[in-house]
Amino acid sequence: MDRGSLGLPPTISACLFDLDGVLTQTARVHATAWKATFDGFLKQRAERTGEWFKPFDPVADYDEYVDGKPREDGVRSFLASQRITLPEGSEDDPPEADTIHGLGNRKDQLFLHLIRTHGVETYEGSVRYLHAAKDAALKVAVVTSSRNCSEVLRAARLEGIFDAQVDGIVAHARRLAGKPAPDTYLEAARMLGATASGSVVYEDALAGVEAGRAGGFGLVVGVDRMGQATALRQHGADVVVKDLAELIKTT
């Protein structure tokens, strides 16, 4: 299969894939874990202060405040929307701690429990597209803010496919700003020996397509899993599809 059959211009040499929501059906698992984390915290706060309890919306709030972002940035963003300030704490805070890191660790604990209990499902069409990109001699990387990338790849049977991996652990170690900054995608392109203009970004998150636009990538493909095609285009997607399989041309 050639690059044109994948919906790509001939100048593209590298494909940079987000993980959750693009290749794996873990975005909904993240949303479930975030809702349990924030609702538990907000309920306790409401009982203590007498404030009105407004539950976390796993669609609207997830898309707006946490999707695609590093974990602690997601906590800060959502709490800011609720006009709540918490101490930062430290990375080794226990999940019970009412700190930015504590809530992030609480969410991470719940997410890991869910995928270890129920496993990880993939989007079959998008995985088929990933393999087609490999067959077309394109370099491929996975780019995600998740620090659980390797575990998710193993559970989804996608381990060993990618030529480079930039996840939350790599971003932290290399001090890379998270999405919507383009830093993680630019690092993935660098690791593949590709330029931004010669790379395509595949993203389902609004923050992710913003990162693609900010980085000057050759093509930004938005994957619309939640009926937000217009928002994806407004935030930077050049093309929007419901699944990457739609880009494969069979004739």
Active-site pick, 18, 67, 73, 204: 18
* Catalytic residue status for 20: yes
Measured CA to CA, the distance from residue 240 to residue 139 in angstroms comes to 22
**Can you say how many angstroms the Cα of residue 33 is from the centroid of all Cα atoms in its chain?**
14
Alpha-carbon gap, residue 164 to 143, rounded angstroms: 9
Please say if 163 is a catalytic residue.
no
Q: d(Cα 111, Cα 105) in Å, to the nearest integer?
A: 10
The catalytic residue among 20, 67, 73, 108 is 20
Give the span between the Cα atoms of 228 and 29, in whole angstroms: 19
Amino acid at 143: V
DSSP 183-247: HHHHHHHHHTT--STTEEEEESSHHHHHHHHHTT-SEEEEE-SSS-HHHHHHHT-SEEESSGGGG
Catalytic residues: 18, 20
